[in-house]
Amino acid sequence: KLYPGVKHKVHGVHQQVWQPDMVDMVMIRENTEGLYHSLLRRMEQKAKGERDEPIVIEEFPGLEGEVEWDPRPISRKGSERVINFAFDLARHRHRKMGVPQSVTCVDKSNVTRGCRLFRGIFNEISEENPDIETHAAYIDAFTMWLMRDPEDLDVVVLPNMFGDIATDLASVLQGGLGMAASANLGPNHMMFEPVHGSAPKYTGKNVVNPIATLQSVQMMFEALAYRKKDAHLDKCADILQQAIQEHFEEGGVVTYDLGGDASTSEVGQAIADRCKTMLEKEFQ
């Protein structure tokens, strides 16, 4: 989501490039398989105290140090789960926000077998949801589309690695990684964090943009409200988003990545104060 007053750093200059009232999209990234599957599997086995048993050939005899390869499994189950969620979310966003509902599938199905499966499942599910407009693009062409015409996009669904890359690129539309939030959603557990994860080199400096973290909290309220059908949680999500938006609209202080010199604490406190005032009015 883009906010009024947020400037984009392009060619070393902070300026508004994309119109905030025209861009509001969500990217749905499959996050359990694909190119990162082997790493995720090893982490799971280590956490369980199990031995790492390779599921594929990991070496080419006689070519040690010359060839390495990584399998990229894409399953029907994993694809159906994430694509069905994308369609459900598009319908929910339309009901709540009135945005045109569409789902765009991004892959490389003209080259890889896993992506052909992903695209085929997308086509199957799209036929079950005739009320939702659908589009499809190859990842290389999509990167241009994302920067040039982001107003065309509502919900975008991607396999794991392509989602990893595209979400970082999309953060440029918002003002950078310091603005981009994410949600890791499972059937029983959820985790919310900035898209970029952690930033160890800035530890203790009090300079990073806290908006991505605050927007992750907003997404947490929104997701919990959706699952629990809790109107109070939904209201908390709306209030936090409104507080962030008003902060930018009224020229509130910003951190270095947005062209300002405010600290993490100063920005966070300013938005917290707004939230406090709004919550007191709402729940007094």
pLDDT recorded at residue 123: 99
Q: What is the pLDDT of residue 70?
A: 79
The three-state (H, E, C) secondary structure of 1-66, written as one string: CCCCCCCEEECCEEECCCCHHHCCCEEEECCCCHHHHHHHHHHHHHHCCCCCCCCCCCCCCCCCCC
Q: What is the pLDDT of residue 40?
A: 62
The better pLDDT of the pair 159, 64 is held by 159
Distance CA 262, CA 155 (A): 33
pTM over 0.85: yes
What's the rounded mean pLDDT across residues 159-165? 95
Residue type, 4: P
Q: Average pLDDT of 29-36?
A: 89
Which stretch of DSSP H or E encloses residue 158? strand 155-158
Please tell me whether residue 137 adopts helix, strand or coil conformation: strand
With H, G, I as helix, E, B as strand and everything else as coil, classify residue 102: strand
pLDDT of res. 110: 97
Q: What does each C-alpha distance from 221 to 22, 80, 214, 225, 232 come to in angstroms? A: 24, 25, 11, 6, 9
CB 158 within 8 A of CB 106: yes
Provide the pLDDT for residue 68.
77
Percent of the chain with pLDDT over 90: 74
Mean pLDDT of 101-105: 96
**Stretch 79-99: mean pLDDT, rounded?**
91
Does residue 228 carry a pLDDT above 60? yes
Locate tokens 């009024």: which residue?
4
**Separation CA 219–CA 217 (nearest Å):** 5
Band of residue 81 on the pLDDT scale cut at 50, 70, 90: very high
Write down the pLDDT at residue 57: 62
What tokens were used for 185?
């959603």
Of the listed ranges 52-66, 230-244, 262-276, the one predicted with least confidence:
52-66
- Produce one character per residue of 123-139: b if its CB has 16 or more CB atoms within 10 Å, e if not: eebbeebeebebbbbbb
Read off the pLDDT of each residue in 39-54 and give the average, rounded to a whole number: 63
Cβ density class 229-249: b for 16+ within 10 Å, e for less? eeeebbbbbbbbbebbbbbbe
Please check the confidence at residue 160 and state whether its pLDDT lies above 60: yes
56-70 pLDDT, tens digit per residue, is 666 677 777 787 777
Model pLDDT, residue 97: 76
R_g (Cα) of the chain, nearest Å: 21
**Cβ contact 183:220 at 8 Å:** yes
Residue 1's pLDDT band, with cuts at 50, 70 and 90, is confident
* Displacement of CA 227 from its chain's centroid (Å): 19
Residue 45 predicted with pLDDT over 70? no
Write the secondary structure of 173-237 as one string of H (helix), E (strand) and C (coil): HHCCHHHCEEEEECCCCEEEEECCCCCHHHCCCCCCCCHHHHHHHHHHHHHHHHHHCCHHHHHHH
Residues 145-159, mean pLDDT to the nearest whole number = 96
Q: How confident is the model at residue 247, as a pLDDT?
A: 97
Residue with tokens 């031995």: 51
Contact, 244 vs 211, CB < 8 A? yes
- pLDDT(199) > 70: yes
**Looking at beta carbons, which pairs linking 265-274 to residues 24 or more positions away fall under 8 Å?**
265/206, 267/209, 267/210, 267/211, 268/210, 268/214, 271/210, 271/214, 271/243, 271/244, 271/247, 274/243, 274/246, 274/247
- Backbone phi and psi for residue 254, each to the nearest 5 degrees, phi listed first: -135, 160
Q: Where do the domains of the chain lie?
A: 176-284
Does 121 have pLDDT greater than 90? yes
What is the percent of the chain with per-residue pLDDT over 70, rounded to a whole number? 93
C-alpha count within 13 angstroms, C-beta hemisphere, residue 222: 21
